[in-house]
Homo-oligomer: A and B are copies of this chain.
Amino acid sequence: MNPRLEIFSQGDEVVTGQIADTNAAWLAQQAVQIGFTVTRHTTVGDRLEDLISLLGEIAQRADCCICTGGLGPTSDDLTAEAVAKAFNLPLILDEQALAQIQQFFANRQRVMPESNSKQALLPQGSERLDNDHGTAPGFSVQVGQCWFVFMPGVPSEMKPMYTDKVLPHLTQRFSLQPSNLTTLRTLGIGESAIQELMNTITIPENVQLGFRAELGEVQTKLLFPFAYSDSEKADLVNKIAKRLGDTVFAIDHTREVNSDLISVLDELMTQGQYTLAVIETVSCGLLSSLCVGADWLVEAHYQPTLINSDLQNLALELQKTSGASFALVQAYTGDKNSVMILHNSLLTPQGFYQNTQTIAGALKRKQHQAALSALDLLRRYLQQKLGNSDD
């Protein structure tokens, strides 16, 4: 079983929602990648009693805890004091830390304010983590079964401290067995429809299956344990991919999901040296907006009043005037304030391809679905073409 890690963020600005806690997400990703099971994130504000009780709770539950925030020089920076009180470890002046803080100010030709000397007080028995990018040193301390790491909350100080100072400790102190994540990304199919298609596929008990739905896209996630057989993994992924058919637009084997629809399209279009011209209706410019930076999009037009009539002629005309390899025309029937039926038409050298989709919900949701479903028509054509030419 993986060691359990908790993430703890301190600060009124986080607990009151003035900033989103991106540190927690970043640290969780890092920890999962190297083989921890992240069990919990907790955020509390700048109140000593809240900090003390939370530290006590975590020491009972986790094997490792990574904390950010509360190491600054001001009166609302209470982390070291809370650690001292929670674990009965009196604060002791770390001479080297003080010298480094003084040096930090000397380097900038400024006098160190007295309040900064507080940052050199560390709990007895803790180990200092040098801060190469700011004044607040971090520290680590073992309490019972749990190894605590305390780092500053400023991302530009925290991230290098994690990578340079904390990560080497983690891989040394813990016996880690990282799992592997595979993500199948689909468009044009719902979460429950995927589950039904997968009903007859047996997922081994040690493989964790999960789903995530975003606007228009569903991700099917398989988490494989450490040292899982590569061939069995490939077999399972292929079986699922085959069952889901051409709704699958990408399969990610990395932790970070990065091959989104646009980057998949970008690769296919660039590879084939194709170009595209577009007429949008319901997506109202969002389709081209998503393609920002893509040289293959040579022109796009938003024509709100276009109704589903004679899409093919429009596409032919657009292809002719733009000189693009493909012309994509989007039209709709139905009222824009209720359920709509979307008609996408794609003109290619191999002829016309079309799809229709019923879309409903808020206007922005429809807009997003319309942009994706039109681009997905192009993606399916290109991948199928590629598949055929591979045969």
Contacts and interface: CB of A to CB of B under 8 A. Distances in A.
A299 B73 CA distance: 41
A227 interface: no
Nearest to A297: B304
A94 interface: no
A164 interface: no
B43 A16 contact: no
Given A25-B20, A29-B16, A358-B108, A76 B210 contact: yes
Interface residues of A, number: 91
Contacts of A365: 133, 156
B16 A191 contact: no
Contact of A361 (B42, B133, B210): B133
Given A43-B41, A73-B191, A286-B292, A301 B304 contact: no
Interface stretch (A44-52, A236-244, A382-390): A44-52
A363 interface: yes
A29 B17 contact: yes
Given A38-B15, A74-B191, A192-B113, A289 B285 contact: yes
A271 interface: no
Most buried by B among A28, A73, A209: A28
Contact of A133 (B30, B40, B362): B362
Nearest to A54: B40
A268 interface: no
Given A40-B50, A108-B339, A17 B27 contact: yes
A109 interface: yes
Interface in A57-102: 72-76
A360 interface: yes
A162 B288 CA distance: 32
A234 interface: no
Interface string A282-312: 0111111111110101111111110000000
A130 interface: no
Contacts of A38: 15-17, 45
Number of copies: 2
B293 A363 contact: yes
A196 B75 CA distance: 12
A73 B192 contact: yes
A205 to B, nearest CB: 13
A289 B289 contact: yes
A389 to B, nearest CB: 29
A74 B13 contact: no
15 contacts: A15-B28, A19-B25, A20-B21, A20-B22, A40-B44, A73-B191, A74-B191, A74-B192, A113-B196, A154-B213, A285-B288, A289-B289, A293-B363, A298-B304, A300-B301
Interface of A: 12-22, 24-32, 38-46, 50, 54, 72-76, 107-110, 113, 115-116, 133, 154, 156, 190-193, 195-196, 209-213, 215, 257, 280, 283-293, 295, 297-305, 336, 339, 358, 360-365, 367
